[in-house]
Structure 1
Amino acid sequence: METVTTIRTVNAAAPRTERWYRAVWRWHFYAGLFCLPFVLWLSVTGGIYLFKPQIEGLLYAPFRDVASGPAPALAPATIAARAVAAVPGSVLHKYVLPEAKGDAVEVLVGQGTDEVRVWVHPQTGRVLHQVAEEDRLMRVVFRLHGELLAGNRGSALVETAACWTIVMLLTGLFLWWPRQTGGKLAGVVYPRLRRGRALFWRDIHAVTGLWISLGALFLIASGLPWANAWGDYFRDIRAVTGTLEGVQDWSAGSAADADRRAIADAGMRAMMAEHAEHGAQSAMTMPGGMMMAAPEAMTAPGEKALDAVVAQAQGLHFAAPVEVSPPMAEGALWQVRSQAENRPARDSAEISGDGRLVGVQRFGQRHWIDRAVGYGVAVHEGAWWGLANQLVNLAVLLGLVMLCLSSVVLWWRRRPDRVLGAPAAFAPLRHSWLLVALVFALALAMPLFGLSLALAAALEGAGKRLAPRLGAWMGWRSPRISS
């Protein structure tokens, strides 16, 4: 797969003469030219994020098994109150059930879109640590990987690069397709390591591309639902086709996540305001004219309910970590959700304020599209099959890095003087309905690919007229040649 290279044929086989070969090579070259820095970036950040469980296990080890002695654990409401008090102006967003009895309790409190994770000692109520949720190391890596820390614009840029990486891989497989090999596998499925540097790098590039393309295509496809533009496109299609059910179980981008947190925060504060008003109206007049709040008004909103809900949630034995979220409206139910790394293990439940279990939804009960995406995301994150899954994904990412590095070596060794080195469009390729259909299908499946292709075509057309020297350096087509 000759990404970003002008490599000549280095073996003894006859030059490629297929009608499509030169055009496909040019598509491969330009796709690789754009994608290469993004593929490197996504491979490195994705490789780090693969080992999130191990990394966070080390980072938060000081907050495991902190309880000691016979002292009883505090009630969940008391622990939540300590966490809220540690962050002035905040309200409870989520209470995380501890994985082990002696672990510190994690509580997410927030104000508007900002959330803080607080670790509270289960016996003393002392705040052991607190950190802004979006400043946690693996959250930063997650946003670096999917958004370049640039929000929706970064997500769109990453999505566009992902779309063109698919084009790069598909065209690379076409270029790799063996011919006149005489049944030999050398240079096709394994590299020839002792036939000179030029052949060595060509084979490393082509054979690596063969072995990792399927895995790379899967990682790209399973990551698209997270992208802001494609994710919205996917939800719109599901809404039109009547296949959208409930709340999706994956992130739709940092902006959408922030909106969700703001809505939850506003709902909780509205409930607190209603409770405070109810408390004022329920005040009792004591002898001597002294006013005293009614007993139910003396309890902070959700205190008794949190204790009852947590007790019920612990009996469900959901896969850890399990988050308990307060209702966002009067009369609404508490939400209990497993946030297990392996998404097919995620179940959810609704519990009333008195601790009564209202309903449970298992992963297998969700719509088949949600289940398919859940499995895809679990494999993508290396969580479906433990360490083996992580190592397979890591091998694919290392292969992508090798593709990028080998393409640069090939281009550097064969680069021409004073031009970029795009493959020349020797033979005209007339209008083809097959090409139109393929491009239309890709644009329909990946809208940002279609938009970026139209933009590239417009820039090429304008550049050849306004900056002919730039057009010649880039290797853009002359008006009489189509590829």
Structure 2
Amino acid sequence: MSLPGLAGGRWRIDRPLLVLIHRYVGLTMAGFLLVAGLTGSLLAWNEELEAVLSPALFRVAPPGPEARPLDPLVLRARVQELHPQAFVARAPLKVEPGHSVTFRLFARPDASGALPELANDQVFVNPYTGEVLGARKWGDISQGPKNLMPFLYRLHFSLALGSVGSYLLGIVALLWTLDCFAGAYLTFPARQRNRAQRTPGKSWLARWWPAWQVRWTGGSYKLNFDLHRAGGLWPWAMLFVLAWSSVAFNLSEVYEPVMKMLFAHQPDGPASRNRAAPQLEPRLGWFEARETGRRLMAREAQAQGFAVQWEDALTYDPRRGLYSYRVHSDRDLSQHWGSTQVSFDANSGALVYVWLPTGAASGDTLRTWFVSLHMAALWGLPFRLFVCLLGLGVAMLSVTGTLIWWRKRQGRVKMAGKRMAENPAVAHTARLDGQ
């Protein structure tokens, strides 16, 4: 008794079956990847486009050449005072010259414990004067152009459908990850079954090389086919990174067990710290918490041999009673944010856990690379341009794959019609079957 797929004791992939799987998985994903690719190419320039669409919210002019921004914690306190119905849980600690500072608002529970809907959940502040420049409800496109980029992010991440869309795109990302390998395999030269089929003097790599090329003058079908095949081969590694990192973002139920089975990870923060009721006023105030974070971070930097480069943010989680102090260190990859973090008890200041983006555990290092590559957060302008073009490439692969299927379908329909015309008995049977 032989097992399907086995030949001579070795696994053999059924190529026609793999073609069918690749075709129909590709058709299933095409629309989703078209949206993800186009929105992703725009999101590579998110900060610049936000400033162009809403300069009054994102750009500020220093009042003088010697002007210095106010302490970010002072700005946070002012925003908190202006919005008593909300809680400002995060204070950015790095202020970019000429840029506003953004604070996120979270609804406070009312008397019944429910969270009321906030009219706006982002506030933009002039760091030199403390003046509020404006506000928006992140992602609400009904507020106009100031929410266009957040809305595109919602489309990119969840089709603007919330958790349902996020899970749906997570499933698509998982199919895409698997299809990366199926698509690559189908570009390999067909197996030569006997010596008569073999081309003298041509190695396997030489026979594979045409798959990397585009026949620009071979007609529309060949051009479309080559763009699809070569367009998936040249950036294959980065396409895999985009696909698997999307699984990490949207389908952690799959990503985390797989990666934790294969690679070491740093311990997660204690989940048992969740409180029955949020503690909105911990014993440590924000200024004292920042000093505690600085002290703990300096101690960990000395103990673990990394260097702090700049402060990034201080966050308080009232559900767990934890402050998290983040910096950008030489363990970070991103040029835009810091992920080196110490978290400590908001009442006692005792260290709870430390998280390093690279160098501490291989699984966390890989995830940091995946996230930084996906979000074009390293290597400056050239890599952002590459990611922008790659997003357009993903859209192109979706379109060319659909066109290949449509052309082949038309050919099959035409051939079936020809066979029926040549054989009236077959046509008569087909008509009876259709009745």
TM-score range, shorter chain: 0.5 to 0.7
Matched, 1:192 2:215: yes
Contact 1:107 1:118 in 2 (8 A): yes
Question: Counterpart of 1:214 in structure 2: which amino acid?
Answer: A
CA–CA separation in structure 2 for the residues paired with 1:120 and 1:404: 42
Letter in 1 for 2:219: G
1:226 alignment partner, one of 238, 249, 253: 249
Partner of 2:288: 305
| Cα distance in 2, alignment partners of residues 190 and 320 from structure 1 | 46
Distance 1:97-1:61 versus aligned 2 partners, 3 A rule: farther
**In structure 2, what is the equivalent of residue 150 of structure 1?**
161
Letter in 2 for 1:106: T
- Is the 1:176–1:206 contact (alpha carbons within 8 Å) kept by the matching residues of 2? yes
3-state SS of paired residue (1:335)? strand
Residue 80 of structure 2 corresponds to residue 84 of structure 1: yes
1:106 aligns with 2:102: yes
Which deviations, in whole Å up to 9, do the C-alpha atoms of 1:335-359 show, x marking residues without a partner?
2224885489522245788999969
Q: Which segment drifts farther, 388-397 or 65-74? A: 65-74
Report the CA distance shift for 1:305/1:353 in structure 2 as closer, same or farther (over 3 A).
farther
1:207 to 218, 225, 230: 230
Call closer, same or farther: CA 1:243–1:71 in 2, change over 3 Å.
closer
SS at match of 1:415: helix
State whether residues 313 and 336 of structure 1, in contact with CA within 8 Å, keep that contact through their aligned partners in structure 2: no
1:128 has 2:121 as partner: no
Q: Which residue of 1 aligns with 2:420?
A: none
Question: Which string of whole-angstrom CA distances, capped at 9 and with x for unpartnered residues, describes residues 298-341 of structure 1?
Answer: xxx836636867998999996677221236389x6632224885
Q: 1:266 to 1:47 in 2, by over 3 A?
A: farther
* Structure 2 residue 63 is matched with structure 1 residue 68: yes
**Counterpart in 2 of 1:335?**
324
Render the CA deviation track for 1:42-71: whole Å, top value 9, x for unaligned: 111221222224334545654445442578
The 3 A distance-change label for structure 1 pair 29 and 89 is same
Instruction: State the 1:220 CA deviation.
Output: 0.6
Equivalent position of 2:373 in the other structure:
379
Given the alignment of the two structures, is residue 245 of structure 1 paired with residue 267 of structure 2, yes or no?
yes
Name stretches of at least 5 consecutive residues in structure 2 with no aligned partner: 1-11, 109-114, 141-146, 191-197, 302-306, 417-429
Q: Please report how far the alpha carbon of residue 408 of structure 1 lies from its aligned counterpart in structure 2 after TM superposition.
A: 3.1
CA distance in 2: counterparts of 1:336 and 1:109, whole angstroms: 19
Would you say the 8 A contact 1:98–1:106 is kept in 2? no
Q: CA deviation at 1:116?
A: 2.3
Alpha-carbon distance, 1:102 to partner: 6.8
How many pairs align? Answer: 364
Match of 2:241, as an amino acid? F
Asked if structure 2 preserves the Cα contact closer than 8 Å seen for 1:308 and 1:355, the reply is no
Structure 2 residue aligned with 1:324, among 293, 314, 317? 314
Equivalent residue in structure 2 for 1:40, among 31, 34, 41: 34
Does the 8 Å contact 1:116/1:132 carry over to 2?
A: yes
- The match for 2:175 among 153, 158, 164 is 164
Q: Is the 8 A contact 2:73 2:91 kept in 1?
A: no
Task: Encode CA deviations 1:6-25: one digit per residue, 9 max, x unaligned.
Answer: xxxxxxxxxxxx98232222
For residues 233-282 of structure 1, the C-alpha deviation after alignment (integer angstroms, 9 at most, x for no partner) is: 4445678898451359xxxxxxxxxxx9xx7996343x37xx8xxxxxxx
Partners of 1:67 and 1:355 in 2: CA distance: 39
Q: Root-mean-square deviation (CA), in Å?
A: 4.6
Within 2, Cα distance between the matches of 1:264 and 1:343? 32
Which letter does structure 2 place at the counterpart of 1:131? R
What is the CA-CA distance between 1:372 and the residue it aligns to?
1.2
Distance 1:360 1:197 in 2: 56
Deviation of residue 374 (structure 1)? 0.7
Matched residue type, 2:268: G
Q: Deviations over 1:142-192 (max 9, x none)?
A: 331121122232122212222333444433333322256755777432122
CA distance in 2, matches of 1:122, 1:189: 52
SS at the partner of 2:185?
helix
How far apart, in 2, do the equivalents of 1:103 and 1:33 lie? 43
Distance 1:90 1:371, change over 3 A: same
User: AA paired with 1:119?
Assistant: F
Contact 1:66 1:104 in 2 (8 A): no
The structure with higher relative contact order (CA 8 Å, sep 6+) is: 1
- Post-superposition offset of 1:377: 0.9
The answer for unaligned runs of 5 or more in structure 1 is: 1-17, 249-259, 276-300, 423-468, 474-483
- Supply the distance in 2 between the matched residues of 1:232 and 1:106 (Cα, whole angstroms): 31
Q: Distance in 1 between matches of 2:319 and 2:285?
A: 12
| Alignment partner, residue 96 of structure 1 | 92
What amino acid is aligned across from residue 403 of structure 1 in structure 2?
A: L
Between the aligned partners of 1:200 and 1:418, the Cα distance in structure 2 is: 20
Q: Which residue of 1 aligns with 2:195?
A: none
Aligned residue for 2:156, secondary structure, equals helix
For residue 76 of structure 1, report the CA deviation from its aligned partner: 5.0
**TM-score, normalising length from structure 1?**
0.61
Alpha-carbon contact 1:344-1:363 (below 8 Å) kept:
no
Residue pair 2:322, 2:345 contacting (<8 A) in 1 also: yes
Counterpart of 2:314, as a letter, is: V
Query: Which of 68-77 and 366-375 deviates more?
Result: 68-77
C-alpha distance in 1, partners of 2:90/2:366? Answer: 27
Partner residue of 2:8? Answer: none
Separation in 1 of the partners of 2:275 and 2:393? 42
Q: In the alignment, is the contact (CA less than 8 A) between 2:100 and 2:127 conserved in 1? A: yes
- Please give the secondary structure, in 2, of the residue aligned with 1:83: helix
Distance 1:380 1:77, change over 3 A: closer
CA distance in structure 2 between the aligned counterparts of 1:417 and 1:198, rounded to whole angstroms: 12
The Cα offsets for residues 342-401 of structure 1, whole Å up to 9 and x where unpaired, read as 489522245788999969754345432112101111011111222232233334333332
Q: 2:407 aligns with which of 399, 413, 429?
A: 413
1:443 corresponds in structure 2 to none
User: Secondary structure at 2:89's aligned position in 1?
Assistant: strand
The answer on whether the counterparts of 1:169 and 1:213 sit within 8 Å (CA) in structure 2 is yes
